[in-house]
């Protein structure tokens, strides 16, 4: 019988926000699973140095992690019956080991828009950002509103295999906001929730009916809150900056007013509601009040909403055109406050690749969106270095919290759980060169930005799928 993959990561700072774990210790990986973890586990191998290959932390930083290919994923031994022969050992002194990130929303062009991105380049980009699980929005090409498209998408993700590529299904047919899809069948076929992508459902009766339908099987309804009439033809946040640039503005109330509406619908239906990429102080206040009343509501934001403001579009910088738009400094601070008090449950990449022709046009005509997989973790770590969040507080909305919302058994360090891990140096200083992004599109909001903290390796189901420098 072939020897299964066995790797010991020793002397790492182990971080698991699901349990509050923060110790110097080791993780044992056998096959696809974590078999054990804790302090000083490496001492059990110290009597057999000739049976292991020892990889130093300096080599790791310089060359990435070298792990043996995964073999015999099944037949994982129980922690107390481990065969100690033939372990690979990775010395992680000075580094952190945490669950791989769970990105609960990305907008993937898919293989039908190869000039922007393919699913393979998207997955390569995700693992470079430390992401082990990605959930794609329904507004891909083609739109995921029937089981045939859903099955094809999920099968393609399994073929690539570097990340767990999951998907939402559309709430309405062709995401037109009118007629509901066959939500029950789509849920049985493997979608993890329902959303109409970046299109808000303007008709409250349609959304209420969708929530009632989803409640039958405890499905998750996600919504992008934006009142179309209030947003009008606006292309950026309404305010002084928009006036200076002569651009149409979108008032913050276009978001917060629909947040209030959606919460009322969730309260009336009893369904689970997740509000996407919230960006305004009034929106967070509404969510806080709803949670206190016991409404089943969760929400997320994206890094650019706590790292940047509307001033990023000065000079008509189209790479800073996103949906919803970048907001004022007051709203940016409100995002951070909502992360600090737990109002925001998840931080998502909002990864949305756009080609040069879609961005290098006049601002009003430019497409919304920015790539975000490879900056998700680094931008969030900025809040740690600014002493706004602890390391565990920053990791929680990136790992176990979104996993819990989606009811996935990932995002934590636990025995018999999938060995989805990231190894990172929280103090590594580096500058992002857009040309080096793994994503096919390079429309990042953070080009030439210097970060502190970097993912050095991503391990998926026990197998190294990314290491820095490769």
Among residues 313, 422, 420, which one has the least CA distance to residue 378?
422
- Whether 300 is catalytic: no
Among residues 311, 370, 308, 299, which one has the least CA distance to residue 333?
308
Specify which residues 99 forms β-bridges with.
421
**Pairing label, strands 450-460, 463-467:** antiparallel
**How many other C-beta atoms can be found within 10 angstroms of the C-beta atom of residue 441?**
26
Cis link prior to 324 (omega < 30° from 0)? yes
* DSSP states of 337-365: HHHHTT---EE---B----HHHHSS-GGG
- How many Å apart are CA 318 and CA 444, to the nearest integer? 10
Q: Is 36 helix (H, G, I), strand (E, B) or coil?
A: strand
Handedness of CA 323, 324, 328, 334 (dihedral sign): negative
Among residues 5, 4, 17, 197, which one has the least CA distance to residue 108?
197
Q: Of 196, 227, 331, 350, which is the active-site residue?
A: 350
- How many Å apart are CA 467 and CA 61, to the nearest integer? 9
Cis link prior to 157 (omega < 30° from 0)? no
The residues annotated with a catalytic role in the active site are: 350
């Amino acid at each position: 019988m072939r020897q299964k993959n066995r790797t010991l990561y020793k002397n790492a700072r182990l971080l698991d926000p699901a349990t509050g774990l923060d110790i110097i210790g080791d993780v044992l990986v056998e096959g696809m699973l974590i078999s054990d973890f804790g302090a000083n586990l490496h001492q059990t191998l110290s009597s057999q140095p000739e049976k292991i290959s020892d990889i130093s932390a300096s080599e790791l930083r310089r060359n990435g992690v070298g792990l043996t290919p995964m073999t015999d994923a099944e037949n994982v031994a129980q922690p107390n019956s481990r065969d100690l022969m033939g372990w690979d050992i990775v010395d992680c002194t000075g580094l952190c080991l945490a669950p791989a990130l769970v990105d609960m929303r990305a907008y993937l062009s898919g293989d039908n828009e190869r000039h922007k991105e393919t699913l393979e380049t998207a997955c390569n980009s995700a693992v470079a950002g430390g992401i082990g699980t990605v959930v794609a929005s329904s507004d891909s090409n083609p739109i995921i509103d029937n089981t045939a498209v859903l099955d094809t998408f999920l099968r393609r993700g399994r073929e690539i295999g570097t990340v767990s590529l999951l998907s939402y299904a559309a709430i309405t047919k062709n995401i037109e906001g009118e007629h509901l899809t066959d939500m029950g069948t789509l849920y049985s076929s493997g979608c993890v929730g329902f959303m109409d992508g970046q299109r808000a459902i303007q008709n409250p009766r349609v959304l209420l009916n969708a929530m009632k339908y989803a409640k039958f099987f405890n499905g998750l309804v996600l919504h992008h809150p934006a009142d179309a009439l209030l947003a009008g033809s606006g292309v950026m946040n309404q305010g002084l900056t928009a006036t200076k640039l002569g651009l149409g503005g979108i008032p913050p109330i276009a978001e917060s007013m629909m947040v209030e509406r959606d919460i009322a619908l969730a309260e009336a239906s009893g369904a689970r509601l997740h509000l996407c990429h919230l960006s305004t102080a009034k929106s967070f206040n509404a969510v806080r009040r709803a949670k206190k009343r016991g409404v089943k509501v969760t929400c997320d934001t994206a890094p650019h909403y706590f790292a940047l403001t509307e001033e990023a579009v000065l000079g008509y910088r189209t790479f800073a055109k996103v949906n919803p738009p970048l907001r004022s400094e007051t709203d940016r601070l409100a995002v951070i406050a909502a992360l600090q008090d737990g109002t925001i449950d998840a931080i998502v990449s909002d990864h949305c690749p756009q080609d040069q022709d879609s961005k290098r046009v006049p601002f009003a005509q430019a497409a919304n969106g920015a790539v975000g997989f490879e900056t998700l973790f680094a931008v969030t770590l900025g809040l740690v270095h600014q002493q706004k969040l602890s390391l565990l507080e920053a990791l929680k909305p990136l790992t176990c919290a979104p996993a819990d919302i989606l009811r996935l058994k990932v995002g934590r360090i636990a025995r018999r759980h999938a060995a989805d891990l990231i190894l990172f140096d929280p103090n590594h200083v580096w500058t992002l060169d857009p040309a080096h992004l793994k994503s096919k599109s390079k429309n990042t909001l953070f080009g030439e930005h210097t970060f502190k903290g970097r993912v050095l390796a991503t391990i998926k189901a026990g197998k190294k799928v990314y290491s820095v420098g490769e």
